[in-house]
Structure formats: C-alpha cells, structure tokens
Structure 1
C-alpha cells in the first residue's frame, strides 16, 4: 500500500484456496488515482488503517454471509457442505466476532446490506469529487482550494491588469482577501449549540470549539489582518518574522 501510494507498482502473490498455497505467477498491480484494498481484516491493523483515506465496513446479515460462503466454497473451491458448516462454526464465526466485528468501530462509513445502491452511489460521488479537486489537494490533503467563480476571476483580472489604479488595486485585493479569510474560517473546528431566538423557537447552530488568535507572517501576512479583524471581533493577532540566511533560501530564522 505504501508503494502504491508513492506511485510504485507492486507484485501481489496469488493464492489457491483449494490447496491453501501461494502459486505462480504473482500479479502485477500498477498505481492508480483510486486504490481499493478489500479484505475482512483490513480495518483490524492500525498500520493499515492509517494508510486509508476512507474506511468502509459492509455490514451483511449473518445468514446471508453463511449462504454466500456455502455457495462459494462448494462451487468454486470443491468443498462439501458438511466441511463448510464445520469450518464456519468452529473457526469462521468465532473469528468474526473476535476480530472482524470489533473493527467496525474504525469505519468512516458503514453500509447496511451489500446491495445498498444509495450508499454505493454516495461513495462513488465522493470519490469523483476528490478526483476533480486541484492537484495540490491530492498531494497535500490539508490544502483547500476555493472554487473559482466569475466574480473571483473578475477581481483577479482587475488586480493583475497593468492599467488598474492603485485605489482599485487595494479595493479589490481587500475583497479577495476577505473571501479567503471567510473561507478559511469555515474550516475551523466547530461544536453544535442550541439557542432560543427572539420568537421563542429553538435554533440548532454552531460556535467555535476554541478561542481564536491570528498569526501574521511579516510582511505579506499583514495585508490580511484587517479582513481577519473584520470577520472575528476582538481577535488577537501576533506576528512572526522569517529571516533568510543567505541567498540559497534553505536556512531561516
């Protein structure tokens, strides 16, 4: 999984369930934008879980699991029903309850029933949305790229135009900065809170989980301070100066 995430191909051993042995040849798996790791124990090991962007647990009824197992083992693996039931009661069911079922708590998404088309469609749509994100978001998951509208492109056109006056440049730059600050605030942690409105009704809203402070990196960061103060009343802002040592850009203080 680590190699695939780094864009490197891997060789996957092939396994014969009839002989219970690895067989040749191994299967070459090339890296891709979407990697699906499937298996009954994939959520059991924390090292494997930490490599996943989305963890899914398909919750199937025990009777359905047993019926599918009987069909698979008798048709595909040449076993008789007696051996399948014996193995299920002695090993499969106890192992499921001890190792697999507890891993359900680590799942981001739990799909009830394997044929749940609505849940599958939602997952597919989420993956397609991620694939449509900016390339930087795929590399750095903590980066958020604002959706570009005609209004934003129009302001970018004005601030980049050599004929734009200083007054207009400052005005539209401040507007763009305000949009960036407001977008950034939307990604801070919130907690839910219910309040009573003047009409006496209950409104379920949100508040910031923690107290906020701003850190301005001198000098470019100072251009965003006014927008931050306008959005967050009474916010305290500290300053950091990054000083380069030499011209190689490697050492800072």
Structure 2
C-alpha cells in the first residue's frame, strides 16, 4: 500500500482504497470494477440569514432495494439468492419466486399437461407478480400465492404472507422478460451456468423433488425448456447489470455484489446530493437504540444510557474524518508496526444546552480535549441571537467537532458555524456531529457551508409545522437533563 498523504482523512483513504464498483454490463468472473468521480465546485458562502425551511414531500420515503435474479433453469439462481440473503443477515430481506405466479391449469390443459409449455411467458400471471412487487415497494404487505407442482394448481386457501423489507429479491427464469417488471428493479443479476450442468440439475430436481419420470423430464427439456431458453431467457441476458458465471460457486462475485448492495442500503438519498454528509452504517443495534430513545415511555435513566451509547458511536465515526499521518512504532516483540498518528490539535464546541450532552463521549474518546461553548437564544421577533461564546484562544489552529444532538431547521447550526469561521477556523476543519438530522436542516447547512462535514446516526423524515423533527425524539435537552417536567 502506498504511503498515506499527510492531509488525508482516515475515512477518505479507506473509501478511496475500496471505491464503489460500477457493475453495469459487466461479466463477473473476478467482477471487474471501475470507479469515477468528478470535482464538485464549492459555491461562494452566502451572507448571514435565517431561512424558513421548505417543507419536503412526505411521500418521498426511502424505497426498498429490488434485485432481479434471472438465468436458465437450474442455473443456481436460488443458491445465489440464498447466499445474498445470508450475507445480508442484518437487514430485512424477502425472496419472491416467479414460480409462485404460475397460472393454474384448466381442465383441458390438465388433460394434455405434457404438451404444456411451463417455460413460456404466458405460463405466468405477470399482472399479479407486477402488483405484488409494486405493493412491496410502496411498503405494503402482500399475500404471495403457493403453487403445487404436482397438481399444477394454486392452493386456493393458502398464501405466504410477505411484509415490507429493506431488500426484495425477485427470482425466476423470465423476470427480465417484461419491461414493466424490469423497471421496478434496482439491480439485475443473470446467473450464467453451462447447459449440461443445468440439465443434470434439472433432472435431479424434477425426479427427486417433484416426483416426475425421467423420460418425461428429458422430453420436456428438449421440446420446451431449451427452445424457451434460446427464445426468451438468453435474450434477456442483455438487460443484466451483473452476469455471474458458475452461479453459487463464484464467491468473489457474490461478495462484491453484497458489498455494493450494502453501500446502496446504507446511503441516504441526501448523501448522494451532499457528499459531505455521512450517516453511520445502520445495524439492528443502532436501530434498536433509536427505538428506545424515541419511545416517549422510556425512563430518564435508560434514555441517557442509550443516548450516550449512540453519541459515542457518532463521535467515533466523526473522529475517523480527521486528518492523520503515517507513523511507525516498535512493538514489545521488537517488530515494526506501520500505523497512523492522530490529529493533535482538536477542540469540541457544544451548542448549549443540548450539545453539552455529547461532551462526555467526546472526552472519553479524546483524552484532555478542550471544550468550547456557544449559546444561541431563540427570539421570536428577531430570529436567533448569539448571547454567549467561550472558545479556546487558539481555536483557529484546531479542527473543531461541533456538537448538537438534533439538526432541525439548521439556523442555530449556521450561526454557530459562522461564528467559528469568524474566529479563523477554516470551514473544512469543522465536523458537525449529531444524533438525528432533518432533511431541511441538512439542506440549510450544506448549501451554505459545502466544505464542512456532517456526521449523524439517522436522517429523519421532515419537519412539521412547528419546525419539530418528525418522527424525532422530542426536546432532547429536557429529556437528557431531566427538565422535561
């Protein structure tokens, strides 16, 4: 690995080393990747003002990531899906099989079942499949039909309940055939397996699992399956974003696909607009702690405990954005270890009073760090007014961690940031740490100060008419310091 530039940040360096792959139209054997970036111009800071946040569209909810997995019969599609699901164990993932949407055969079709082409697009109820995926994408639960491969009928009194999830995997030989279904997908994967291997797998599956005669399986393969593959399945390969040779045996490809999915899942839409906004990766632990501190029935003791845990995670993540230098040390074994040296000139600045709740976590991570204070008073007639500040005399030489647990309208943050810049702190040396952010606040701060960084644990939906964060967690300072009574 090449030496780390002196003014590189830890997060920037890691992201550069593992830059996001562009999968479009690639054949994945070792999964070739490429990345591109374009410089972003920094607009000139606008004069000081306090804006009224523009209400955002409350319907713009984050939609699930829909993955289409196609390929020939017995190509290993289900195995690929299972491996993706296993690696995404900390997310809600549902698998929808196209086979569940076979049309039930009529009495006349049942009389000539051996002449029926189950691999033709007309064999599926595409309209119901489309309706099912659209409902899941909109956050609704659906009932997926259950198909009996021995009777060739749907179980009229039995359905599989599928709830809204983070990831929806749609698997089947013809899921790429209909453009309406394709357009619902965030990623399209084609599993490419040798025809002889697929035939051997199909014989084993249809005879052992579905109780069919081997001669009928071979006859069906030659008469329907292979021609349908050539006419419908193979041509749909051109729509794939990722092509995986050898199916589930290609662990490298699947690992990289999962990495790409995780990146997309962890990236809020605002992070795509403002690359200086960072949301720590969501896990069930983090979501569980958010569930607790947002609950109005939680005790003060538990609110403080879980808030402190979340604040510590945000602080640790924020420290990863500070500059560092490469450093070699000698270990007790006499070996040389090449590591990094932390940035020494740091300062925390809390926006009184809620920001003071974040000071203990910062002190626990940075021994002896200096802490400054800024008090901004909300005046109904004159907007927000700065009435107190106490900052280190050499603050202009330091990297500043600005502390406020909730970013709502962004007006208080903007006034605090403006003060720091007036004191000589470069905008790029300010990292704003908070637990939750409203989209309106992110827009307000990032448009005015595009060079600072915002680190948060969750971005909420919006602000209400009273400029409170929704769903939010109420008045953080009152709940944390026990003055909400």
Spell out, residue by residue over 1:11-34, the C-alpha distance to the aligned partner (whole angstroms, 9 max, x if none).
Answer: 100001111110130111111111
1:126 aligns to 2:382 (yes or no)? no
Of 82, 91, 94 in structure 1, the residue corresponding to residue 224 of structure 2 is 91
How far 1:142 sits from its partner (Å)?
Answer: 5.4
User: CA shift at 1:172, angstroms?
Assistant: 2.5
2:426 to 140, 151, 172: 172
Name 2:177's counterpart in structure 1.
44
Q: 1:144 to 1:55 in 2, by over 3 A?
A: farther
Q: Which runs of 5+ in 2 are unaligned?
A: 1-132, 279-317, 324-347, 349-398, 404-413, 431-445, 452-485
Superposed, 1:1-253 pairs within 5 Å as 1-23=133-155, 24-114=157-247, 115-133=249-267, 136-137=268-269, 143=273, 145-146=275-276, 147=278, 149-150=321-322, 154=399, 157=402, 160=416, 164=420, 166=422, 168=424, 172-173=426-427, 175=428
3-state SS of the aligned residue for 1:78?
coil
Aligned-residue CA RMSD (Å): 3.2
Q: What runs of 5+ residues in structure 1 fail to find an aligned partner?
A: 178-219, 228-253
**Higher share in helix:** 1
Distance, in Å, in 2 between the alignment partners of 1:79 and 1:113 is 26
| Cα distance change of structure 1 residues 85 and 144 upon mapping to structure 2, 3 Å threshold | farther
Offset from partner CA, 1:186-212 (integer Å, 9 cap, x none): xxxxxxxxxxxxxxxxxxxxxxxxxxx
Write the distance in 1 (CA, Å) between the matches of 2:421 and 2:272.
36
Q: 2:395 is matched with which residue?
A: none
Cα 1:96/1:141, change in 2 over 3 Å: farther
Q: CA deviation at 1:167?
A: 5.6
Structure 1 residue 53, shift from structure 2 partner: 0.8
Paired with 1:223 and 1:79, the residues of 2 have a C-alpha distance of 68
Determine the C-alpha separation between the residues in 2 that align with 1:44 and 1:120.
23
Partners of 2:273 and 2:228 in 1: CA distance: 40
Distance in 2 separating the partners of 1:144 and 1:45: 35
Partners in 1 of 2:421 and 2:204 — Cα distance? 76
What SS does the corresponding residue of 1:157 show, helix, strand or coil? strand
Q: 1:77-129, CA deviations, whole angstroms, 9 ceiling, x for partnerless residues?
A: 11111100110001110001000001101000000011211111111122222
C-alpha displacement of 1:145: 3.9
- Contact kept, 8 Å, 1:155 with 1:172, in 2: the verdict is no
- d(CA) in 2 for partners of 1:89 and 1:112? 23
Tell me how far apart the structure 2 counterparts of residues 156 and 141 of structure 1 sit (CA, whole Å).
20
Number of equivalent positions: 177
Larger RCO of the pair (alpha carbons < 8 Å, separation 6+): 2
- Give the drift of 1:176: 7.6
